[in-house]
A and B are shown apart, each in its own frame.
Chain A
């Protein structure tokens, strides 16, 4: 085998190995703290409570008399957004935890050839539990709340495309947050939740973008997640009606725009993270502890 190809093959194998062991470590950290039954409860109760907040708000506000389609779009948006919050939490908190809690960050830096791969592996465990949460929420919504969700009516290719591109987008955003977390002090534990709030607001997760003021609508369209939300809703809800803002986009244009923005975000995040990593090495602050 020519040398360049051999090196590439070796590099790929090494990255895959890195990813696998980082995933194993992430799973050990995330999942071995409790009896499996308690862990299952934890995986179910948290997302259900999140759904029920939206449901109760809807019922209190409308007495159940408002459009069921509107409720369905809000519910589905909220459910799928769990993937984003879970992934962001997984990606962004790893470095704080390694640095402050386990104090192993400098060893991770030395051991791994590619920190991005390590972070993605570590976060993968939390991403998987997020997927379980989404499924729980959708099943609950369909069976108990009578959301019009049917397996036969789902546009699977569209959904799969959305999830795959969404993964790149989330990883990109997560890496940016991870880079910021490397530079900042650990003030508390909800750093990523705060960042998720930005996306929660600007992505039309629980309300149509058309209720926002004009300037905020334009700002939302600069963030890729609003396209993602729209694609998910179109894929999953057969009777879904887009709002005034998103109805201007056809499904294919949504996919194109989202693809381009996701790839761009991912590229920017990799460079951003690398730049911050180099800065940390220059300043000698990789293993600084800051918690108080």
Chain B
């Protein structure tokens, strides 16, 4: 490919990403009920688990673990429902054929959805964390702000890669995939240790669960935020490397999977078939 073609391709995908992110952000700002339902109320769910730990008289750092886990739920739900299932819902709304027919790559559109979605899920996570820490007077001792920022970004990258892989599955398997996503909420909350240190599940389960980037990301962020590696699974540096590896792996998988699934959809005539 010539340099001018590469540049044009990059420009096209950058525009598509930006346009799709704009749709998310503008749409959110047109009607603000999500502030109550996506930001304020979910905090109460997290508070319930905090009070459970208070009832069980756990060490104080556990409250911080729950609050951080609760904050990351917003990110995970954003990936699951705001990205992975999005192409499926675009198809159900009759939009998918127009989108797929454009020369913009599906990955750039999904990235746009993710970046736009970060507006909602990022706000939710930030509010949950800040409010939780303030309400329950959780003590935070950040060992390294740089490590924290890098870990968070790597977790996001790996999660979005996983979300893109998920979107290709949704495209092909229709409503089965929708319910499988719904199925993956509580089990992922369990095995990824959203509400407790994942190490307590044992090495074998934690290793398998590490395929879900939020498991390792959450574990690393807990160690950094509370300067306490005692409940950590691996060291922070190792976990950052794992996240980097997962990011690359999932993006490559997503690229391949989206291509395969699109071709499969075209061959079977499912690409534009609504209500499968």
Contact present between A and B (CB < 8 A) = yes
CA distance A74 to B49 in the complex (A): 11
Interface flag for B81 (CB, 8 Å): yes
Contact with A along B19-54 (1 / 0, CB 8 A): 000011011101101101110011111011101111
A49-B186, A56-B196, A59-B200 known; A189+B52 contact, CB < 8 A: no
A207 touches B41 (CB 8 A): no
Query: When the two chains form their complex, are residues B190 and A212 in contact, meaning their CB atoms are under 8 A apart?
Result: no
Give the contacting residue for B51; candidates A49, A54, A194, A207; CB below 8 A: A207
A158 touches B (CB below 8 Å) = no
B3 CB → nearest A CB, Å: 36
Interface of A is mostly: helix
A57 contacts B53, C-beta separation under 8 Å: yes
- The CA of A194 and the CA of B174, in the complex, are separated in Å by 25
By a CB distance below 8 angstroms, the chain A residues around B147 are none
Closest chain B CB from A25 CB (angstroms): 13
B176 within 8 A of A: yes
Tell me whether B99 is interfacial, beta carbon within 8 Å.
no
**A292 located at the interface, meaning its Cβ lies under 8 Å from any Cβ of chain B in the complex:** yes
Cross-chain contact of A206 among B36, B37, B52 (Cβ < 8 A): B52
In the complex, are the beta carbons of B81 and A207 less than 8 A apart? no
A101 to B185, CA, bound (A): 22
B44 partner residues in chain A, CB cutoff 8 A: 197-198, 200-202
Inter-chain contact B187/A292, CB cutoff 8 Å: no
B-contacting residues, A1-52, CB 8 Å:
33-34, 38, 42, 45-47, 49-50, 52
Q: Is the CB of A207 within 8 A of B93?
A: no
Q: Does A168 contact B (CB under 8 A)?
A: no
| Residue among B56, B77, B178, B187 making CB contact with A190, cutoff 8 Å | B77
Contact among A49, A56, A200, A202 for B187, CB-based, below 8 A: A49
Q: Are A53 and B190 in contact (CB under 8 A)?
A: yes
Q: How many Å from the CB of A205 to the closest CB on chain B?
A: 7
Asked whether B51 lies within 8 Å of A211 as measured between CB atoms, the reply is: yes
CA A271 – CA B218 in complex, angstroms?
A: 45
Judge if B2 is at the interface, Cβ distance under 8 Å.
Answer: no
Q: How far is the CA of A183 from the CA of B45 in the complex (A)?
A: 24
Q: Does A291 have its Cβ within 8 Å of any Cβ on chain B?
A: yes
| B92-A206 in contact (CB<8A) | no
Q: Are A33 and B41 within 8 A (Cβ)?
A: no
Q: Output the least CB separation between B82 and chain A (Å).
A: 7
Note all chain A residues with C-beta closer than 8 A to B45.
194, 196-197, 200-201
Of the residues B53, B57, B85, B93, contact of A100 by C-beta under 8 Å: B93
Q: Does A185 contact B (CB under 8 A)?
A: yes
With A74-B52, A292-B23 in contact, is A188–B34 under 8 Å at CB?
Answer: yes
* Stretch of A60-68, A141-149, A224-232 contacting B (4+ beta carbons < 8 Å): A60-68
User: Chain B residue with minimal CB distance to A32?
Assistant: B175
- Contact A205–B31 (Cβ < 8 Å): no
- Complex Cα distance A69/B197, Å? 24
Cβ–Cβ < 8 Å partners of A74 in chain B = 52, 55
Is B275 positioned at the interface, with any CB of A under 8 Å from its CB? yes
> Which of A56, A102, A212 has the most CB atoms of chain B within a 10 A radius of its CB?
A56
Q: In the complex, what residues of B have CB within 8 A of residue A62's CB?
A: 56-58
A114 at the interface (CB under 8 A from B): no
Residue pair B41, A211 in contact (C-beta under 8 Å): no
Chain A residues near B51: list those with CB within 8 A: 201, 206-207, 211-212
Q: Which of B30, B52, B120, B179 contacts A33 (CB 8 A)?
A: B179
If A34-B176, A46-B183, A184-B31 touch, whether A61 touches B62 (CB-CB below 8 Å) is: yes
Other-chain residue from A101, A180, A196 in contact with B92 (beta carbon distance below 8 A): A101
| Sampled A-B contacts (18; CB under 8 Å) | A49-B186, A49-B190, A52-B190, A56-B200, A60-B196, A61-B53, A70-B55, A188-B38, A188-B82, A194-B45, A197-B42, A197-B44, A197-B45, A198-B44, A205-B48, A207-B54, A207-B55, A289-B93
Tell me the B residues contacting A by CB distance below 8 Å.
Answer: 23-24, 26-28, 30-31, 33-34, 36-38, 41-45, 47-49, 51-58, 62, 77, 81-82, 85, 89, 92-93, 120, 174-176, 178-180, 182-183, 185-187, 189-190, 195-197, 200-201, 275
Known A42-B182, A53-B190; 12 more pairs at CB < 8 Å = A45-B187, A49-B190, A50-B186, A59-B200, A61-B57, A184-B33, A187-B27, A188-B34, A190-B37, A194-B37, A212-B51, A291-B93
User: Using a CB–CB distance below 8 Å, which chain A residues touch chain B?
Assistant: 33-34, 38, 42, 45-47, 49-50, 52-54, 56-62, 66, 70, 74, 100-102, 180, 184-185, 187-191, 194-198, 200-202, 205-208, 211-212, 289-292
- What are the 8 A-B residue pairs with the smallest beta carbon separation, nearest first? A292-B27, A197-B45, A49-B186, A201-B44, A61-B56, A184-B33, A194-B41, A185-B31
